[in-house]
Chain A
Amino acid sequence: QVQLVESGGGLVKPGGSLRLSCAASGFPFSDYYMSWIRQTPGKGLEWLSYISTSDLIIYYADSVKGRFTISRDNAKNSLFLQMNTLRVDDTAVYYCARPIAPADPGGAFDVWGQGTMVTVSS
């Protein structure tokens, strides 16, 4: 079935780095723009970044621009988020998500992973 599975979360000190992965299955991953979205504990959702099918189009939220890098490997049906210079306020559950329309990353997201927790603390 259609599935997204995130991994790579954990505990990291402020200023540290972490790389998240998202494994996709059950759909033509290479046809879809993909996004990373996070949710701070007890709070709302925040879109972070999306990447086009061929890496040519990438957008970031201002809160992570210059610190986070999104990438993908279509051959391995995988999406990544390299997070550098992490701050305490980056503590959140990180989700990868698929848009309902393959080439419309600004629209609705119909498939979400289960999320991976990132805790930034000294």
Chain B
Amino acid sequence: SSELTQDPAVSVALGQTVRITCQGDSVRNYFASWYQQKPGQAPILVFYGKNNRPSGVPDRFSGSSSGDTASLTITGAQAEDEADYHCNSRDISGNRPVFGGGTRLTVL
């Protein structure tokens, strides 16, 4: 399958740790990338590859992968982390990008 599945919504208490997951067959073979998107704004890349965080992204954002599931972990979530988070990887052929449906993170 070329699909990536994300939980529609996740919540976390301020300062706590939250894991957002992305499940799909292609994740077994290809790294996932993660994007943060706030209302009315374009997505921003926050983590990619095996262990890469773009310049300017806080180090509380980290990524990992196990089997068919990739994860974005926010350690010590802040109010400004409240946003939609999208994962992307490749389809099984490796030729086409594919996105998950997105997860809305609420920081309580």
Query: Using a CB–CB distance below 8 Å, which chain A residues touch chain B?
Result: 35, 37, 43-47, 50, 59, 61, 95, 100, 105-110, 112-115
Contact = CB atoms under 8 A, between A and B. Distances in A.
Contacts of A115: 42
Given A43-B102, A100-B48, A105 B97 contact: yes
Interface of B: 6, 30-31, 33, 35, 42-45, 48-49, 54, 86, 88, 90, 94-102
Given A108-B33, A108-B48, A114-B42, A47 B96 contact: yes
B48 A113 contact: no
A110 B45 contact: yes
Contacts of A50: 97
Q: List the 9 shortest-distance A-B pairs measured between CB atoms, nearest first.
A: A108-B48, A108-B33, A112-B42, A44-B101, A106-B90, A45-B99, A44-B102, A47-B97, A110-B45
Contact of B97 (A43, A95, A100, A106): A106
A44 to B, nearest CB: 4
Most buried by A among B48, B88, B95, B97: B97
Contacts of A95: 42-43
Contacts of A37: 97, 99
A113 B42 CA distance: 7
A47 B98 contact: yes
Nearest to B34: A108
B100 A107 contact: no
A46 B86 CA distance: 11
A104 B6 CA distance: 24
Nearest to A114: B42
A3 B95 CA distance: 25
Given A44-B102, A45-B43, A109 B88 contact: yes
A112 B43 contact: yes
Nearest to B45: A110
Contacts of A106: 30, 90, 94-97
